[in-house]
Amino acid sequence: MIKTENLTKKYGAERGVFSLNLDLPRGKIYGFIGPNGAGKTTTIKMLCGLVKPDSGKAFVGDIQITASNIPKIKRKIGYMPDIFGVYEQMSVWEYLDFYGAAFKIPIKRRKPRIEEVLSLTDSSHMIDYQVTSLSRGMKQRIGLAKTLIHDPEILILDEPAGGLDPTARIEMRQTISRLKGLGKTILLSSHILPELSSICDLIGIIFKGKLLAQGTVKEISSSLQEKIVINVTVDSDINEAKNILSRIDMIETVKVLEQDALQCTFTGARPQIKSVLRLLIENNVIVRWFSEDEVDLEDVFINITKKG
């Protein structure tokens, strides 16, 4: 749904976005991560047609983002910036009605659409609230409702959980997952890494304007050739299991965690992990649980930006 080819926007020699190649499939949540100033917002503004690239191409579906295609692009994309303007003298209803009119939604269709987007964002009870009275979390939800008003296929959300308390962040995550279930394609920009690892299908890591990695967390971790941590639980002699694992060349360390559980560090390629399990079973070790430690997105991010 979103594809870029060597997309570039320079603000001097070292600032901007350089030869960016994004690939966001339909119906997926793509976590676009990087520190402040990495180029996330510049990329998003180019995708929305708000900033003209110096070179390269970008596509939304089969439509190339060009000046003449901006009206079509705006119909397909719902963009929620990290700081969005609100008209504080309006009620929530008036605010959403204003944006519905801006997207030329007929008056008869506007009322049910406003009610629908408020329901999608768990904001129906706010319909008569004054915008000026809303908390930061409430404003984020109303901002998301506004982003959905014209029923776009693609949502581009820039730091949607920024400044929210833990409860509001959880609610925002749940809402985003719900929108994916409705078939929306979502580009989610953030530097709050735990927020992304729990809901994103794919991630892209941008650093100093360059895309360093793209794919699932596991795929990126594998490309870094990081050590893989394996957890094993057995229903037989724990010391015998430890001795067998210690003799494997690709096992760097083995430690007993509990009387029936141990953890080892594997240095081989991921497809070779199955040979470890096979060896345990061939030596009559009764394996109750065998799993790879979940990859930590923060560790992946730190390692790949160091490389970058």
The predicted-structure confidence for 57-110, as pLDDT tens digits, reads as follows 999 988 999 999 999 999 999 999 877 666 778 999 999 999 999 999 999 999
Measured distance CA(206)–CA(41) in Å, rounded: 11
CA–CA distances in Å: residue 212 to residues 10, 32, 303: 18, 11, 11
CA–CA distances in Å: residue 264 to residues 79, 223, 225: 45, 20, 16
Burial string for 115-139 (b: 16+ CB within 10 Å, else e) reads eebbebbbbeebeebebeebeebbb
How much is the pLDDT for 124? 94
How much is the pLDDT for 223? 65
CATH class belonging to 226-294 = alpha beta
The two beta strands, 154-158 and 185-190, are: parallel
N residues, the chain:
308
How much is the pLDDT for 89? 84
Residues 166-195 have a mean pLDDT of 86
> With bands split at pLDDT 50, 70 and 90, how would you rate the model's confidence at 37?
confident
Q: Which fold has domain 2-215?
A: Rossmann fold (3.40.50)
- The pLDDT of residue 222 is above 70: no
- The pLDDT of residue 163 is above 90: no
Residues 213-229 have a mean pLDDT of 75
Asked which of 14-18, 192-196, 217-221, 245-249 is least confident by mean pLDDT, the reply is 192-196
- The pLDDT of residue 116 is above 90: yes
Backbone phi and psi for residue 262, each to the nearest 5 degrees, phi listed first: -140, 165
> With bands split at pLDDT 50, 70 and 90, how would you rate the model's confidence at 226?
low
Measured distance CA(224)–CA(92) in Å, rounded: 48
The token duo for 112 is 């049910």
Name residue 78's beta-bridge partners: 155
Q: Where in the chain is the domain with CATH 3.40.50.300?
A: 2-215
How much is the pLDDT for 225? 56
Name residue 264's beta-bridge partners: 230, 254
Percent of the chain with pLDDT over 90: 64
Give residue-wise pLDDT tens across range 118-153.
999 999 999 999 988 988 888 889 999 999 999 999
- The pLDDT of residue 42 is above 70: yes
For residue 71, how far is the Cα from the chain centroid? Answer: 26
How much is the pLDDT for 87? 76
Q: Where in the chain is the domain with CATH 3.30.70.100?
A: 226-294
> With bands split at pLDDT 50, 70 and 90, how would you rate the model's confidence at 195?
low
Nearby residues of 70 by Cβ (< 8 Å), 6 or more positions away: 49
> With bands split at pLDDT 50, 70 and 90, how would you rate the model's confidence at 5?
very high
CA–CA distances in Å: residue 153 to residues 75, 76, 77: 8, 5, 6
How much is the pLDDT for 213? 87
Cβ(280)–Cβ(288) under 8 Å?
Answer: no
Give residue-wise pLDDT tens across range 240-294.
999 999 999 889 999 999 889 999 999 887 788 899 999 999 999 999 999 988 7
Longest dimension (CA), the chain: 74
Average pLDDT, the chain: 89
